[in-house]
Chain A
Amino acid sequence: MAFVKAQKTKAYFKRFQVKFKRRREGKTDYRARIRLINQDKNKYNTPKYRFVVRFSNKDIVAQIISASIAGDMVLAAAYSHELPQFGLEVGLTNYAAAYCTGLLLARRTLKKLEMDEEYEGNEEATGEDYSVEPAETRRPFRALLDVGLVRTTTGNRVFGALKGALDGGLDIPHSDKRFAGFSKDSKQLDAEVHRKYIYGGHVAAYMRMLMEDEPEKYQLHFSEYIKRGIEPDDMEELYKKVHAAIRADPTAKKSEKQPPKEHKRTVSLGLAGGLLGLNIGGWSANAARRPPPPPPEEKQDPNLSGVQAKVLASKKRKEAMKEFAAKQREKGKPINEPSEQQ
């Protein structure tokens, strides 16, 4: 093989400055975070709440969070996987589900702060731009929208969640430019189109189109809807019921499941130790920690140089790894950290 000049020399690593951990993980935008968290100094310890919306492939997370030096404190949270409690079992990551999650979070925080009687918000979702009016006794609950790393295009689901929270009664500074149904040409929000999206009208339209043109794809794509007998015409009714259920009782229910006694990634120490065979006492089979390197054994052969001894030792370790992995596979157990040492 031709001689290749090493790109990352020792000097490179010596001068390398790592970015913040959450930036390395690609999860936090610090520029935005600084601006969201910074509280006026002459307001001292008054918390500044963020309305955080995050999407995963199968879930929507909406939280009200305030920052502190010890760590961010969550005031209230709502997940779209809670929506089955309110009657919505399918389509948990679409625009309509985002609206429901935002609404659920808003009602929950207001109930927690005992403001839910005063601030009913917008009962009937019309898709028009609605902002809370301050009531007599208390000012409305203010939060700032935190989208994370999402590209804020018109019609994004984060704005669906935002609309839900606004209609729920929270005071979040916003503009209607990014709601679904805003047209760039007329520079106006078409409330009808937005209302369609809130009630899943766009999903219903797609369902109708597929039913006519490609029935097999319809069966494949909307299998869960079909299983529950949800027709495109029922969508609006369904979502109206969900909104009503949310407004009726938004409190969170504790899950009845017990936490598992042993974390599923941990293997008991005896099993690992017995299988390994070598006397490597310093190892712990805890998945979170990489096991420390085994202490060097006495040099059997005084003629072996230090390097050769290390090579021998590493070879022995690799054999042990392979044995352990093979035995785990035999037993059908998951192969965890000690055998997957990188």
Chain B
Amino acid sequence: MPAGHGLRSRTRDLFSRPFRKKGYIPLTTYLRTYKIGDYVDIKVNGAVHKGMPHKFYHGRTGRVWNVTKRAVGVEVNKQVGNRIIRKRIHVRVEHLQPSRCTEEFRLRKKKNDSLKAEAKARGEVISTKRQPEGPKPGFMVEGAQLETVTPIPYDVVNDLKGGY
């Protein structure tokens, strides 16, 4: 009999709970709130059977476009053939985690705002643009001993192995 292609096919290990983490899931997953426009990571929790997304979406990150009583609508990009479609799925909160992909950006935004405000107070103009890492600066080499190396003349008699 050939292998089927059902909804949860090939998910034996993907959807299984990790070692020694079976049973009731910790309650913070239920206490988190999601707003429209937030980024969320989809990570399927095999212990909760309702509102499970398809295995394709496991590990994807998307934006929230809808909030319902127990689930959240997530917009995920999927490549279909030669184009990328924005797919809208509904996922229960047990299969979601808030994404940290924009965390660095938001922190930087806050810091830049405060830096700009300070600079304005002082009357300076500063640039808060990120600069790429440039080449390493020059440095003096310390503790080097000079050793002069000269080539030795080629000695046909000794260097040629196996006779000539």
Query: Is B72 part of the binding interface, using a Cβ–Cβ cutoff of 8 Å?
Result: yes
Does A316 sit within 8 A of B, measured CB to CB?
no
* Contact of A44 with B by CB under 8 A: yes
Q: Which stretch (A14-22, A202-210, A263-271) binds chain B? A: A14-22
Asked if residues B27 and A37 are in contact (CB atoms below 8 Å), the reply is: yes
Known: A44-B35, A45-B33, A68-B31. A34 touches B24 (CB 8 A): yes
Instruction: Report how far A40 CA is from B35 CA in the complex, Å.
Output: 13
CB-nearest residue of chain B relative to A46? B33
Q: Which of A39, A42, A45 has the most CB of B within 10 A?
A: A42
**Size of chain A's interface in residues, with CB distance under 8 A?**
20
Write out the residue numbers on chain A whose beta carbons fall within 8 Å of the beta carbon of B20: 15-17
Taking a contact as CB atoms under 8 Å apart, the answer to whether B27 and A67 are in contact is: yes
Q: Which of B62-70, B111-119, B139-147, B151-159 contacts A (4 or more CB under 8 A)?
A: B62-70
Q: Is the CB of B67 within 8 A of A69?
A: no
Check if B70 sits within 8 Å of A40, measured CB to CB: yes
Is A227's CB within 8 Å of the partner chain B? no
* Interface SS of chain A: loop
- Which residues of B10-61 have CB atoms within 8 Å of chain A's CB atoms? 20-24, 26-28, 30-35
Q: Is B93 an interface residue (CB 8 A)?
A: yes
Interface pair A42/B69, CB less than 8 Å apart: yes
What residues of A have a CB within 8 angstroms of the CB of B28 in the complex?
A: 69
Is A34 in contact with B23, judged by CB distance below 8 angstroms?
Answer: no
Q: Which residues of B contact A (CB under 8 A)?
A: 20-24, 26-28, 30-35, 67-72, 93
Given contacts A31-B24, A38-B70, A69-B28, 20 further A-B contacts (CB under 8 A): A16-B20, A17-B20, A19-B23, A20-B24, A30-B24, A30-B27, A34-B27, A37-B31, A39-B30, A40-B70, A41-B67, A41-B70, A41-B71, A41-B93, A44-B67, A45-B33, A67-B27, A68-B31, A69-B31, A69-B32
